[in-house]
């Protein structure tokens, strides 16, 4: 299945009510969406199957060559 089942969400968050589950998911840093009926949806792929913890996102580094290439100098009055 693509999404965690309601009983799996209860075990993961330790909460039964949807609004409490959503709050717990936010605090745990688990990416989720809220359905129109107010219940949370968590993609199974966002949870590490071995630990039940959120999968870590790869750390990204800034692209300095892009930053330096788009940097412009400001014109200051009186300085040529």
What is the pLDDT averaged over residues 8-22? 96
In the prediction, which pLDDT does 1 show?
73
pLDDT the model gives residue 20: 97
Question: Apex CA 75: angle with CA 73 and CA 79, to 5°?
Answer: 120
**pLDDT confidence of residue 58:** 57
pLDDT of the residue at 49: 63
Q: What pLDDT digit, counting tens, does each position of 18-41 carry?
A: 999 999 999 999 999 999 999 999
Asked if the model's pLDDT at residue 54 lies above 90, the reply is no
Least Cα distance to 2 among 27, 38, 37, 33 occurs for 33
Q: Where are the domains of the chain?
A: 1-48
pTM: 0.61
Buried b (16+ CB within 10 A) or exposed e, 43-57: eeeebeeeeeebeee
């Amino acid at each position: 299945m693509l999404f965690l089942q309601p009983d799996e969400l209860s075990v993961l968050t330790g909460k039964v009510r949807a609004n409490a589950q959503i709050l717990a998911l936010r605090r745990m840093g688990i990416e989720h969406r809220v359905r129109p009926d107010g219940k949370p949806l968590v993609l199974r792929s966002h949870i590490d199957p071995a630990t039940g913890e959120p999968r870590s996102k790869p750390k990204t580094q800034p692209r300095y060559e892009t930053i330096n290439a788009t940097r412009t100098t400001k014109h200051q009055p009186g300085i040529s």
